[in-house]
Structure 1
Amino acid sequence: MTPEEARRWAEEARDEIVALAQALIRTPSPNPPAREEVVAKVLQEKFRAAGLAAELVALGEGRANVVARLPGSRQAPALLYDGHLDTVPPGEAGAWRHAPYSGELEGGRLYGRGASDMKGGVAAQAMAAILAHRAGLTPAGDLIVAATCGEETDSAGAHAFRRAGGLEGVGGVVIAEPSANELFIAEKGALWLEITTYGRTAHGSMPHLGVNAIWKMHKVLGALAHFRPSADKHPLLGEGTVSLGTLEGGIKTNVVPDRASATFDLRTVPGRPHEEIVTAVEDLLGRLRVDDPELKAEVKVIKNLPSVATAADEPIVRLARQVGLDLWGRDLLPQGVNYYTDAAVLVPEGQIPFLIFGPGAPTLAHQPEEHVEVEKLVEATAFFLLFAARWGSGINFPLFLSHLRKEGAPAPPCPTGR
């Protein structure tokens, strides 16, 4: 497939691409309460109507992934296009000029919760697979499109997809999170910590009989104000950061609080393992106890997603840049992002190279008046189509190909909900 053909296929499907994105946006799937099955069924029906096999994988009450596959020639590993079906809640309706689930078109923009993050990206990837099927394309490796649940909270869908064997035979992952059609190849990790301090309750008029857990927490906060996850600095991600997210303690003004807690959002870069960072925090608390034996505190990990990155010279990155040059005459210079994606779940176990590329704007994620530009939706569809057509070309996959040479070696399996 030539760049001109990819652009033509996407342009001729412009209305269909928009209609699919609208259908996804108009099917609410806020998380919480996490009820993605209804939007998964919309996508499954679209695949099936286009002649592509698509499996709905139930993951509990009202929850599901949907996985479609376009068979390839098995000359290369499978290529996984990944996105998530859930969104954050819309927030206050009065903050929206366009209703959150309207899918309204205005001024070349498609509005609604999830338009940018990331139902627009899911629609572009799905339509690319559908157009590849219509064009009679047989990619070098199977093209898998996985739309999963739960990314906004616990990545439940990505974990289930991985456990079910969805990554077997996969040689590259492209995640359609919002990037404004720029190329991201690295993302920070997320290490969320909850620190709790304990005291002894007493009447507020007799504080000397108690131990104030909030004052103890004050010491912890002061010590962590200048804490850094590591001394590492990544060329695309910069340095790790720490953000105090929540703080609570006490039950009543005239009661000495016996408990206080705070949560911290640490964004990390490759280098220092998260286990070492947690140990460093615990060591810091230990030093505080030397000066204050009454300080009792504990640390709990409430989210643990590693920082992941693809090397800039990986073939998948070179391919993405060439596709950008051929489609638009624009070099997609590799960048990094501070947010995390399901790559943190899908990539580390098999060290599979990944990219983030999607039509949404990162700055619009989780915002009122969230929208995606229709032009970027069409461009992203053309990119995904041409990328799949060229997947495997000029890329050496020795381990995969040696597996294929084994007599009777099975084809990579289609993910199921087992």
Structure 2
Amino acid sequence: MEKAVDLLKSLVNIPSSSGNEEEILIFLEKWFIEKQFDFVIRKETFVAGQIKAKGKKEPKKEAIILTGHVDTVVSGHLADWKFSPTDARVEEGKLFGLGASDMKGGDVGNLLAAASFIGKDLSQDIWVVGTANEELDGKGSEDFARYFSENWSYDSACCIIAEPTDLEKIYIGQRGNHFMKLHFSGKAGHASVQEHFQQSALGAVTYFLENIEQIVEDLKIYKNSQLGLPTFVVTSILSGDENSPNKTADFAELVVDCRLTPELEEVFEQVMSELAVQYHFTHEDIVTPVLSTLTDNQAPFIQLLTNLSGAKTTAASGSNEQGFFENVGIRTVVFGPGQHEQCHIANESIILEKLEEHIEILQSFIKKMQES
């Protein structure tokens, strides 16, 4: 554990908010080289180290990928922190610091578990990857997945993303998501006339919001047995002119977070068109939509990970980078030592026993995979 704690402190103490990951990517590149990984590559959005299969047996054209993002959210108000967010501290069996759970602890588990197989007989290649920009758009994973598929020829590959699951869950899928902006228009008028409100954009928005629960109820027919129900959540509203408090709004914009099941994805464009007609708005995607992802939980590597960890397979409530790997044919799950409730909060921490357990499970997983 001393090695794990020291390495995690080093990672936490390197500031690496999204868009500012160069220093930590360089650190990991040097670490891979010092540990004598067989191949190391660093790009703008990811760094990766490879341990090549070699030994008495004929190597299989298969790969195990252990990956995790190295960026963090911003620290927020420093006054809310007991310590500096980038000055890792250990207290009462926990390591505190920005990114400890989400997910530099998972990165450390990946690094040390893989490194323990350097110089040993292997039948499958092992890759360890650190990615950038996950907290924004997942660009690092998208870039690595594309690089891997275009430059390396494997018969098969499996991937474990060490996002926080407390080692109690294995996420085999996620709902897709559309971040959408809805545009409402109306007639501006003098606010001293009550009737002008209903003619305004906010009048149209009010009618829409009054019916949100019914919209959500109607979407329940698109439930997926593994991924659950779709959701339709308004996250922000912009309307009118605060400098003219006596003028009703001629425009309003709503941002909606839509989480989609595969069943809803098939008809989502039609559903949104019908809602747009009914509630009088136009709509657009703010960012490129992410499609839903679902891995077969009967896949042998998932069964092995389940047996070794005792974790339950389920679907992620939020989104992660799984889809980027699945889209290029890499079977992928999410499983890591951090605690989800520790993500994006002041005084973030990780339980060190969980980190030690994570390393042991990954070591057993890699060993068993080499024997299969």
- Give the TM-score normalised by structure 1: 0.79
Matches of 2:270 and 2:80, distance apart in 1 = 42
What SS does the corresponding residue of 2:165 show, helix, strand or coil?
A: coil
Tell me which amino acid in the other structure corresponds to 2:254: A
1:267 aligns with 2:259: yes
1:301 aligns with 2:285: yes
Q: Which runs of 5+ in 2 are unaligned?
A: none
What SS does the corresponding residue of 2:238 show, helix, strand or coil?
A: strand
1:216 aligns with 2:186: no
* Alignment partner of 2:137 out of 154, 158, 173: 154
Deviation at 1:205, TM superposition (A): 5.1
1:72 aligns with 2:76: no
Matches of 2:271 and 2:177, distance apart in 1 = 16
Tell me which amino acid in the other structure corresponds to 2:43: V
Deviation at 1:360, TM superposition (A): 0.1
* Alignment partner of 1:90 out of 71, 75, 81: 75
**Structure 2 matches for 1:12-411, cutoff 5 A?**
14-31=1-18, 34-52=19-37, 53-58=39-44, 64-73=45-54, 74-133=59-118, 136-166=119-149, 168=152, 169=154, 170-182=156-168, 183-202=170-189, 204=191, 211-228=199-216, 229-252=219-242, 253-273=245-265, 276-288=267-279, 295=280, 297-303=281-287, 304-324=289-309, 331-350=310-329, 352-391=330-369, 393-394=371-372
Instruction: Give the 3 Å change call, closer, same or farther, for CA 365–393 of structure 1 in structure 2.
Output: same
Matches of 2:223 and 2:237, distance apart in 1 = 29
Q: Is the 8 A contact 2:146 2:328 kept in 1?
A: no
Q: Is the 8 A contact 1:192 1:302 kept in 2?
A: yes
CA RMSD of superposed structures (Å):
2.2
Deviation at 1:320, TM superposition (A): 0.7
What SS does the corresponding residue of 2:173 show, helix, strand or coil?
A: strand
Matches of 2:194 and 2:122, distance apart in 1 = 72
- Give the TM-score normalised by structure 2: 0.89
Q: Is the 8 A contact 1:305 1:345 kept in 2?
A: no
Q: Is the 8 A contact 1:242 1:267 kept in 2?
A: yes
Q: Is the 8 A contact 2:145 2:328 kept in 1?
A: no
What SS does the corresponding residue of 1:262 show, helix, strand or coil?
A: strand
Instruction: Give the 3 Å change call, closer, same or farther, for CA 349–271 of structure 1 in structure 2.
Output: farther
Instruction: Give the 3 Å change call, closer, same or farther, for CA 138–57 of structure 1 in structure 2.
Output: farther
Q: Which runs of 5+ in 1 are unaligned?
A: 1-13, 59-63, 289-294, 325-330, 395-418
Q: Which residue in 2 is equivalent to 1:9?
A: none
What SS does the corresponding residue of 1:123 show, helix, strand or coil?
A: helix
Matches of 2:108 and 2:87, distance apart in 1 = 16
The CA deviation string for residues 83-124 of structure 1, in whole angstroms up to 9 with x for no partner, is: 111111111222222321121111110111111111110111
Matches of 2:227 and 2:195, distance apart in 1 = 48
Q: Is the 8 A contact 1:230 1:277 kept in 2?
A: no
Deviation at 1:191, TM superposition (A): 2.1
Q: Which moved more, 1:44-53 or 1:180-189?
A: 180-189
Matches of 1:261 and 1:369, distance apart in 2 = 35
Matches of 2:220 and 2:124, distance apart in 1 = 39
Tell me which amino acid in the other structure corresponds to 1:149: A
What SS does the corresponding residue of 1:266 show, helix, strand or coil?
A: strand
How many residues are aligned here?
357
Matches of 2:184 and 2:191, distance apart in 1 = 18
